[in-house]
Structure formats: structure tokens, C-alpha cells
Amino acid sequence: MAAQKKFLLKTLRAATANIRCNCHSNVSQETHFGFETVSKSSKAGRVHTVFENVAEKYDLMNDLMSGGIHRAWKNYLVSQINVLNGNRMLDVAGGTGDIAMRYINQLKYHNKTLSTGDIVVCDINQAMLDVGKIKASRLGLSQEIIWVCGNGEDLPFQDNSFDVYTIAFGLRNFTNTQKALDEAYRVLAPGGKFLCLEFSAVKNPFLKRLYDEYSFQVIPVMGEVIAKDWSSYQYLVESIRQFPDQVEFSALITTSGFKFVKYENLTFGVAAIHSGFKL
């Protein structure tokens, strides 16, 4: 009888451990690619294909899809940098360099001097960086920017090396948001500022309905007509809906160690700027 009891207990314990183990592996091995559930190991490759496909038409499509509003959002993001201690900037998922170029213009406007290596654009996709380099040379900004092909979840930079970390419309494409935020914290110097511009959640039900209609009915069609690519733009609108809302995202930033975390909605929450400091 005692042996039977012992056997039953052992079986029960093993079954419980198994359930825990399975749950854990399901939670940790899967993520979203738009509305699709995919393995974490496959997401980066699929995101890479999206941005390889859209790179050439990326800037044009941004203007068309947002009616140019993305320019105002980006200008506003850069106006929030206010770096007091130094100018070293890292723009992660920097793509074609929009944020870095705006920052350089802002520094020049304020007669700040830049040293080589102060402005770094890091992106996992060389095709996006290549379009950025051409744009920089057209605008006479080639000397000011260092372009680095690298993963925002495992940044190829030393601890405490930047005064400001920016990321615009990049994080929702990452596989592990928390890891990217931990990396942001690591590479920022004490006193450094974190700034993220990302699509967010529209809470007003009427506006949300309009926005959803526009996103799902118009954007993929535009993608097909202009860039001959429906699925990348379908992914774009779906990925926006999967990203944590303003409050949830603030909590993730805080978890990585940032202080004074806050956010500001832009255009009724279509986008939001989150910020925080490494102290």
C-alpha cells in the first residue's frame, strides 16, 4: 500500500512537472508575426524579408500611408532629445536614417560640434542601411553618420557608450522586446535618455473604427499598387495591433531599469513617444 502511494505521488509529480515544462516552452518558443503565431526562431528571418522587400520604396510609402504625418512625429521625437551631457546618439532599427539625419540638423542648428562616431545608425537589414547611405550622401551628411548592421537585441556596442538611444517604428518588429530594452539600458551612459516612437493604441472607439478601416482596407492595397507587395503591408498593420499599448509598454521600459518613464500620445494614440532615463 505504501509503495503504491509512493508510486502514485511520483507519477503525479512527474505529470505536474511535465505540464509546467510544456507551458513554459509554449510561452517561450512562440511569438507573433502580425496575426500569425510563429516560432521565435523564424520571426527575425520573416521580418528581414519584409524590410528587404520594402527598402527601396520605404520612404515613399511612409509619406503616402501617413499623408506625411510621420515627418511631424519624427521631428517631434528629435525635439524631445534635449541632451545636456553629450551628443552621442544611437538610433536602433534606424533603417534609412530619418531620425539620425534630423538629429544632426538639430545639432547644427544649435551650433553644436560633432565628433566622428557620435551618430550611429544600427539596423539588422543592410538593404535599409544602403538606401539610407544614398540618402545621406544626397543630403551631404555622409561624413556624420556611422552605419552599423546589427541586432537591437544584442547590440555590438560597449556598455555606457551613448547619451541618447532612439528607436522609431522598430521595436514591434523585434522578437524579444524586453531584451532590446535591456540592451538600450546597457549601452546608454548614466544620465542617458531613451526615446521610442512607435505605433500605439487608439482608445476612442469611433476613431479606432475609422483607423482600423483605413489600416486594413487601404494600406495593403497601397502596398500592392505602389510597391507590388501586399503581404509586407498587411504585416505592417497587423504588427501594430500586436504591440503592447501605452501603459503595458511603459511597464516593460520600467522593468529594464529606466526611471521617470512616461509617454505622450501623437495623433490620438496612433503613435506614441515613450521616454525614460538611465540614472
Ligand X SMILES: C[S@@+](CC[C@H](N)C(=O)[O-])C[C@H]1O[C@@H](n2cnc3c(N)ncnc32)[C@H](O)[C@@H]1O
Q: Which residues bind ligand X (CB under 6 A)?
A: 47, 51, 92-96, 98-99, 123-125, 128, 151-153, 168-170, 173-174
Smallest gap from residue 132 Cβ to ligand X (A): 9
Place of cell 541632451: 83
Smallest gap from residue 113 Cβ to ligand X (A): 25
- Name which of 187, 155, 193 is nearest 279 in CA terms: 193
CA-to-CA separations, 34 to 83, 236, 247, 271, in angstroms, rounded: 35, 7, 21, 17
Cα separation, 137 vs 43, in Å, equals 32
Smallest gap from residue 89 Cβ to ligand X (A): 13
Cα separation, 243 vs 263, in Å, equals 15
Nearer to ligand X, 179 or 208 (CB): 179
Nearer to ligand X, 77 or 261 (CB): 77
Smallest gap from residue 71 Cβ to ligand X (A): 10
Cα separation, 13 vs 198, in Å, equals 45
In degrees rounded to 5, what are phi and psi of residue 89? -120, 140
Cα separation, 239 vs 241, in Å, equals 5
C-alpha angle with apex 208: 44 to 63, nearest 5 degrees? 60
Smallest gap from residue 185 Cβ to ligand X (A): 16
Smallest gap from residue 277 Cβ to ligand X (A): 21
Nearer to ligand X, 155 or 261 (CB): 155
Axis-axis angle for helices 40-54, 230-242 (nearest 10): 130
Nearer to ligand X, 51 or 211 (CB): 51
Smallest gap from residue 77 Cβ to ligand X (A): 9
Report the residue closest to ligand X, judged by CB: 95
Nearer to ligand X, 152 or 223 (CB): 152
Nearer to ligand X, 170 or 223 (CB): 170
- Name which of 198, 189, 196, 197 is nearest 84 in CA terms: 189
Nearer to ligand X, 99 or 201 (CB): 99
Smallest gap from residue 192 Cβ to ligand X (A): 19
In degrees rounded to 5, what are phi and psi of residue 45? -65, -40
Nearer to ligand X, 48 or 208 (CB): 48
Place of cell 520594402: 54
